Amino acid sequence: MASPAIVMKECISLALDTPLGSTVGTAHPAPDQALPYVNWGETDVSDSPVGYEITATLHTWSSFEGPDEVEAIQHIIRTTLAATTVTRSSWTFVFLLEEFCTVLFDPNETDWHGVQRFKVLATAV
């Protein structure tokens, strides 16, 4: 059976493919990656009474003037994943809640950086 964290990332990528298209990528974008861009951050997996609890972090990057583009993409991610249940590769995932969402300006890169953290429940099927 595949790791629930890996399968969960596949589920999120598939769910975001239609609303965001090629904006969603891998954990390590190419140095010349076009912006806006969403990439994987940290994941934490812990036991729960019914399977595993996963904390998934997504990072959104934009060179748009001001935080609006990052905030719009974060809203799409939030509404796409809200209360979603997905079964894939012997796992069922319930996207419970967005724990954290922020947008920061990165003065060294002159980009806006959004961070979102979601709590996901994974159970084997």
Tell me the CATH number at 101: 3.30.2000.30
List the one residue out of 70, 112, 88 whose CA is nearest residue 1: 88
Question: pLDDT tens-digit profile of 45-86?
Answer: 999 998 999 999 999 999 988 899 999 999 999 999 987 899
Q: Is the pTM of this model over 0.85?
A: yes
What is residue 62's DSSP assignment? E
Residue 91 lies in a domain: yes
- Give me the domain span that covers residue 52: 4-25+36-124
Alpha-carbon distance of 41 to 9, in angstroms, equals 11
Residue 85 lies in a domain: yes
Q: How confident is the model at residue 24 (pLDDT cuts 50, 70, 90)?
A: confident
Residue 31 lies in a domain: no
Quote the mean pLDDT of the chain: 90
Q: How confident is the model at residue 106 (pLDDT cuts 50, 70, 90)?
A: confident
Domain count, the chain: 1
Find where tokens 């812990």 sit: 46
**Mean pLDDT across 96-100:** 90
Residue 30 lies in a domain: no
Tell me how long the chain is: 125
Contact 71, 103 (CB under 8 A): yes
Kind of pairing between the strands at 37-48 and 91-106: unpaired
3-state secondary structure of 105: strand
Residue 19 lies in a domain: yes
